[in-house]
Structure 1
Amino acid sequence: MRYRFIQDYAGRFSVQMLCEVMELKTRSYYAWRSEKRAVRRHEKQERDLALVDQIQKVHQQSYDRSYGSPRIHLELREQGIACGRHRVARLMQSHQIVAKKRRRFRVTTQSDHALPIAPNVLDRQFTVASPNQCWVGDITYLWTREGWLYLAVVLDLFSRRVVGWSMQATMETRLVCDALEMAIQRCCPQAGLVYHSDRGGQYAGLVYQDKLNCHGMVASMSRKGNCWDNAVAESFFSTLKTEMLPAQVSRMQVFRTRQVFRTREEAKACVFEYIEVWYNRKRRHSTLGYISPAQFEQRHFEQQQQLARAA
């Protein structure tokens, strides 16, 4: 109690005078204070180590250890673990817990054709107020030991959810048509939906454009060679490849990694799990306030119900 009294009043009076009043030696007080600081440091280290264990668990549970400090911090907070974002980032750095780095955009569009090109109706307006107002589509490819596997997706700009996807060994019109058909069957959009894509031959072709017209969709296309006009789809592919594939992605290097897809079927199973189990339902999306697309849509649906009841 006497040591505590001296500590409480040390800012107002000299330590030497307080020690004389409390009949204590000055060196005894400083020894007590040093011991207290050592105990606090030890307790802080124990708390940090316990938090590191929790950080590692969340990091390992994220898809192929892809989460960085912002998403891990929010995941811990939802679990009732009190911690600051900067503290999480500091501990991750000191214990070398690292998220995968994102990949750069690569231009894959084959736009050297004489097919009609739709105007850029979207014009990089990537924020919309409700579901099924604007979809974006694109194509990417994955290497397997059987050859390339092409993946086409359709994303809803409202929630960034993948509403349609298709995979096949060749990059034909059927690839993008199947992805669009899945999205239509799932969402049943009303006429007037804007569908944005690049100006590749699969999207500009008569078969695909007829399908859009049949469902009352408004076609929109990026400018030539400008991947930023379709940045949301490009960003999704970058995320998918970052989290699914190893850091080395060249055709020669990929054979040396354990994560090579042996067959196209194996790659298809992996993509299906990533999209339907992880990305749409669990992965925290920075644009959505670090909640998943499914949670974002559910929140919107509940808000609409509340407004309807209030009306």
Structure 2
Amino acid sequence: MKSLSQDFEKQQLKVGRDTLFNVLREHKMLTLRKKHSARTTNSYHRFYKYNNIIKDLKVNRPNQVWVSDITYIRTVKGFCYLALITDMHSRKIVGYDLCDSLELKGCVRALKKAIYQAKDIRGLIHHSDRGIQYLKYPHLLGQLCC
């Protein structure tokens, strides 16, 4: 595979990634890889779904709302899953855990790390996408916060 950076420099061209991809796409020179993804959210389950209490909430301070989510990372051996707890006000990641499964234990460890490092979490709302990890055992997550 040839790098075009030297050719661009010789012609005194500055081309960013997005522009390059747009040009390649226009000339039908872009081949896209087939995406393989892991499904991390199951919204169709039999467990109780809590109402979204942060829908119209004005977030104006740190540790008011923490948002949880899980993403996947592709590795040579398959997928691993990164559970993240993000402070909605500062957008800072306050807790995380990397796990080889989508089970609750990764989410709990991420939440424990966030609570351990937090200064004041009185009145904190822990919000998630209502995936099965958070709904199957809500009492376990609730015990960590209270």
CA pair 124-139 structure 1, distance change in 2 beyond 3 A:
farther
Match of 2:51 in 1: 119
Report percent identity of matched pairs. Answer: 33
Q: How does 1:118-157 map to 2 (within 5 A)?
A: 118-123=50-55, 125=57, 128-157=59-88
Match of 1:30 in 2: none
CA contact (8 A) 1:203 1:209 kept: no
Aligned partners of 2:39 and 2:102: how far apart in 1? 15
One-letter code aligned to 1:95? K
Q: Deviations over 1:166-223 (max 9, x none)?
A: 01111101010011011000114433211111111101122x433324423xxxxxxx
Kindly indicate whether residue 103 of structure 2 is the aligned counterpart of residue 172 of structure 1.
yes
The structure whose RCO (Cα within 8 Å, separation 6+) is larger is 2
CA RMSD of aligned residues (A): 2.5
CA pair 210-189 structure 1, distance change in 2 beyond 3 A:
farther
Kindly indicate whether residue 134 of structure 2 is the aligned counterpart of residue 215 of structure 1.
no
Aligned partners of 1:107 and 1:171: how far apart in 2? 10
CA contact (8 A) 2:112 2:144 kept: no
Aligned partners of 1:191 and 1:213: how far apart in 2? 14
Aligned length: 117
Aligned partners of 2:51 and 2:106: how far apart in 1? 23
TM-score where L is the length of structure 1? 0.34
Aligned partners of 1:153 and 1:187: how far apart in 2? 15
Aligned partners of 2:144 and 2:16: how far apart in 1? 50
One-letter code aligned to 1:118? Y
Match of 2:15 in 1: 96
One-letter code aligned to 2:41? T
Q: Deviations over 1:272-296 (max 9, x none)?
A: xxxxxxxxxxxxxxxxxxxxxxxxx
Match of 1:16 in 2: none
One-letter code aligned to 2:62? P
Aligned partners of 2:56 and 2:77: how far apart in 1? 37
Match of 1:203 in 2: 134
Structure 2 unaligned spans of 5+: 1-12, 22-37
Matched residue SS, 1:179: helix
Structure (1/2) with the larger helix percentage: 1
Q: How does 1:259-278 map to 2 (within 5 A)?
A: none
Pick the structure with greater CA Rg. Answer: 1
Matched residue SS, 1:153: strand
Kindly indicate whether residue 104 of structure 2 is the aligned counterpart of residue 185 of structure 1.
no
Structure (1/2) with the larger strand percentage: 2
Matched residue SS, 1:166: strand
Residue 99 (structure 1) shift:
6.2
CA pair 116-169 structure 1, distance change in 2 beyond 3 A:
same
Aligned partners of 2:74 and 2:56: how far apart in 1? 30
Q: Provide runs of 4+ in structure 1 moved above 3 Å.
A: 97-101
Structure 1 unaligned spans of 5+: 1-93, 217-311
Q: Deviations over 1:128-161 (max 9, x none)?
A: 2111000000011111111111111000011100
